[in-house]
Amino acid sequence: MQQVLDFSRTNTFILLLAATPVLYLTYTIIYNLYISPLSKFPGPKLWACSEVFYQRAIVKGVANREFHKFFEKYGPVVRITPKELIFGSAAAHRDIYSTTHVQRQLGGRKEVLSKDERLYNSFGMPEDHMVSTLDHRVHARQRRMIGTAFSDRSVRELEPMLLENIDKLINGLRKQAIEQGKDVDIKQWMNYTTFDITGYVVFGESFRCLDNAALHPWVAFMTDSIKAQVFMGLFLRVPGMKYLMPYLTPKKVAAALSEHQALTYNRLEQRLEQGQATEKADLIGLLLKNGITQKAGGFSSGSDHISKGELHANSTM
């Protein structure tokens, strides 16, 4: 009799153990679809049940097309995961990200919308950059400092460099398409132009992709690094994964990110050592021309400052 009771208890325990995931999944689906504060917002039901569908779209590189379809079908506000909405209006950007606007909406109270830490990651950088920081004050301070290099007057100083690269782009397309009669990969040529301009603006030196009609090895390496960060960002959306990421990240990916950061740091160091002596209209040169003083490797303007580590983080971004 005792054996029968023990066997029955064992079976009951096994059944409960097997049923737990099913019950949890059922509860999660019901909660996400009918109880969650976001349940009243329109959107695809499967996407509202699980992040898997959003992550699959990101991995396949079709998320933007899916979002466009959703806006056409559901309207300007769409639920895309159990905890996220996307907005299809320009006003939404101001409402969410403009601290001044948010304070005005709250009657002047010093409150801003908090950031979801799953979506902001410095990927091993010792200091935050404008995109990764969770602190609105840090973001505002960095933006004020770097923004001085992109005033109307500063941007006009960049015009000769921009025109030179546009001329190189047109000449390169003409040579490949008309003179050589080859097919043109316009995406690659846009990448050449983007990285040549970015290289000059950040480091005072072009990558010469347009001159060589090929990506600089470092640029090709950077694009791989960006892809790796996208995948790592998806993993970080899973609860608890933040603490496991150092152990789960493939050594090749970790080495790629580390090398990219080291190359960026070395380029930035070289440019900082040159200071204003070169009279280049790049980020560092424009910061100095706008009356900002170089101090301890960083820059200061009154009470505002940006450290060398923060410059490095923003340059890597």
Question: 192 and 305 share a domain?
Answer: yes
In a domain, 138, yes or no: no
Angstrom distances, CA of residue 16 to CA of 7, 23, 24, 105: 14, 10, 12, 50
Three-state SS at 78: strand
pLDDT at 292: 59
| Measured distance CA(52)–CA(54) in Å, rounded | 6
Last residue of a domain, one of 115, 131, 161: 115
Residue 144 pLDDT level (bands cut at 50, 70, 90): confident
Contact call for residues 309 and 126 (beta carbons, < 8 A): yes
Residues 6+ apart with CB under 8 A from 110: 103
260: which 2 tokens? 């990219």
| Eight-class DSSP state of 114 | P
In a domain, 92, yes or no: yes
Q: Is the pLDDT of residue 40 over 90?
A: yes
Question: 254 and 158 share a domain?
Answer: yes
Q: Structural domain tally of the chain?
A: 2
pLDDT at 5: 45
In a domain, 209, yes or no: yes
**Of 38-52, 90-104, 142-156, 218-232, which gets the smallest average pLDDT?**
90-104
- Mean pLDDT value across residues 258-268: 80
Question: 166 and 213 share a domain?
Answer: yes
The residue length of the chain stands at: 317
pLDDT at 80: 95
What b/e sequence results for 97-126 when a residue is b if at least 16 CB atoms lie within 10 Å of its CB, and e otherwise?
A: eeeeebeeeeeeeeebeeeeebebbebebe
Question: 188 and 303 share a domain?
Answer: yes
Q: Is the pLDDT of residue 260 over 80?
A: no
Q: Is the pLDDT of residue 117 over 60?
A: yes
Angstrom distances, CA of residue 164 to CA of 178, 205, 208, 286: 21, 14, 12, 19
Residue 78 pLDDT level (bands cut at 50, 70, 90): very high
Looking at residue 196, which CATH number applies to its domain? 1.10.630.10
pLDDT at 266: 83
Domain that holds residue 108: 2-115
Question: 304 and 246 share a domain?
Answer: yes
Question: 97 and 224 share a domain?
Answer: no
Q: Model-level pTM?
A: 0.70
